[in-house]
Amino acid sequence: MTVYSGPVFEMAVNQFNVIANYLEIPMDERDRLLMPKRAITVSCPIHKDDGTVAVFEGYRVQHHLTLGPTKGGTRFAPTVDIGEIGALAIWMSWKCALVGLPYGGAKGGVNVDLGRLSKRELEALSRRYMQEMIPFVGPHTDVMAPDMGTNEQVMAWFMDTYSMYQGQTVTEIVTGKPVSSGGTLGRREATGRGVAYLSKRVMKEAGICMGDATAVVQGFGNVGSYAALELYNAGVKIIAVSDHTGALHCATGLDVPALMKHTSIHGSIAGFSVELAFDPAAILLLPCTVLIPAAMERVIDREVAERLQCRILAEGANGPTTPDADVVLDHRKDEIFVIPDILCNSGGVVVSYFEWVQDLQQLFWEESEVTRREYEILDRAFTQMVARASADHVAHRTAAMAIGVEKVRAAKNTRGLFP
């Protein structure tokens, strides 16, 4: 019996089983590595603007505490459930280990439709969620960050709420905060920048000229928009983007800075252009050099994988590709270069780690320092992944996850089983 269920959790289990078989991990070690250490469910009541009370269900899953505190984002979305949060926490563990951070994985979330909340109600929900989590989190226990539906402002409310209960300012309890409240320069851009940096590295190694390259981005939020901007600045044409309101397509390339300005004012790409409107369902199938899914899990299934027309799949989102789709990608003759999520979007947690370190030391770095160190870590992990994949003739995802799983396993085995 387990509290975790649903297709996203099943996907995390299936992926782990592939890795465990490849690494020949004995059966009696597998559950200890895979199953989350703690799962917390809270109910968060808030006063609505109309005077009524609404109650929202919130979660936090801490996967393992073997290497240090747990670390992971907080998702506010109507699709959130404990299975999805559990899967995301597991993926965070493999990701942190792959890039060498002293963290286990965690994830949290609230099942809420943000379209139905006013700004005051969102603040009330953010504060109540953090207040309910106080017994279970801490700068050396579990450090939160943003994810889908949460942003710097929500992190500032989390930090303020925790600090009020401690009687002192504790900036290191969350990352992804505004720079004015103990955040680091370069965190807002970090995930998208990392996605673009790795995509550019693959293009360079494949001899693709940026000026001839095109990119398609699904999800024009934090990750998608900064990935698009970095590629646009490098001369790549961003020929299509989408968000929850629709899609835009322009064969000669979209004006990404203008689109970012529009979304910062209006909250979505809706209303940017009637002429460029496109079918959001078709966006993943467009011919392009780089395809960046940067929204939801499981958008690339077996059928979509068979019809992809990109040369590089740069996974900005967590879990965008199903295990069935991986099998198709492994066997396609026109090899698509996959940069798997746990590496591709890891720039976010890398710079979150830098933010935590800076907050603990109260010593802050220049943005150029933050970004230089981020790219150094991404480069190292990328090189290790490619070398492992080629040595063992396995897919990039298998190689990347195996490196992460091996590090967690080694730490568990050397520490032993208590008592």
Instruction: Indicate which residues carry an active-site annotation.
Output: 107
Burial class (CB in 10 A: 0-12, 13-18, 19+), 252: exposed
* Between 104 and 224, CB nearer to ligand NAD: 224
Least separation in angstroms between residue 209's CB and ligand NAD is 28
The answer for 22, left when phi > 0, alpha when psi is -120 to 50, beta otherwise, is alpha
Cβ(315)–Cβ(240) below 8 Å: no
* Between 153 and 169, CB nearer to ligand NAD: 153
Kindly report whether the peptide bond that precedes residue 178 is cis, defined as omega within 30 degrees of 0: no
User: How many angstroms separate the CA atoms of 314 and 311, rounded?
Assistant: 10
Single out the residue of 139, 62, 135, 136 nearest to residue 96, CA to CA: 62
* Between 208 and 350, CB nearer to ligand NAD: 350
The number of helix segments (H) and strand segments (E) in the chain equals 14, 12
* Between 29 and 255, CB nearer to ligand NAD: 255
Pattern 246-285, ligand NAD, x by CB under 6 A: ----------------------x-----------x-----
Relative orientation angle of helices 27-34 and 7-22, to the nearest 10 degrees: 140
Cβ(290)–Cβ(216) below 8 Å: yes
Distances (CA, A) of 113 to 57, 118, 122, 157, 352: 12, 11, 10, 19, 26
Q: Is 222 in the site for ligand NAD (CB under 6 A)?
A: yes
* Between 157 and 220, CB nearer to ligand NAD: 220
User: How many angstroms separate the CA atoms of 143 and 102, rounded?
Assistant: 12
Least separation in angstroms between residue 280's CB and ligand NAD is 6
Pattern 309-348, ligand NAD, x by CB under 6 A: -------xxx--------------------------x--x
Least separation in angstroms between residue 305's CB and ligand NAD is 17
- Chain position carrying tokens 């802050």: 364
Subset of 92-151 contacting ligand NAD (CB under 6 A) = 146-149
Binding piece for ligand NAD, criterion CB under 6 A, among 2-10, 97-105, 111-119, 239-247: 239-247
Least separation in angstroms between residue 317's CB and ligand NAD is 3
Instruction: Single out the residue of 125, 295, 314, 389 in contact with ligand NAD (rule: CB under 6 A).
Output: 295
Pattern 159-198, ligand NAD, x by CB under 6 A: --------------------------------x-------
* Between 36 and 316, CB nearer to ligand NAD: 316
| CA 11 to the chain's CA centroid | 16
| Phi–psi pair at 266, nearest 5 degrees | -100, -10
Least separation in angstroms between residue 106's CB and ligand NAD is 13
Distances (CA, A) of 419 to 18, 65, 416: 30, 16, 9
Tokens (6 digits) for 84: 């999805």
Instruction: Single out the residue of 62, 66, 70, 242 in contact with ligand NAD (rule: CB under 6 A).
Output: 242
- Chain position carrying tokens 């983007």: 241
Binding piece for ligand NAD, criterion CB under 6 A, among 15-23, 212-220, 227-235, 384-392: 212-220
Cβ(349)–Cβ(378) below 8 Å: no
* Between 314 and 317, CB nearer to ligand NAD: 317
Query: Which residues of the chain form contacts with ligand NAD (CB under 6 A)?
Result: 146-149, 191, 218-224, 242-244, 268, 280, 294-296, 316-318, 345, 348
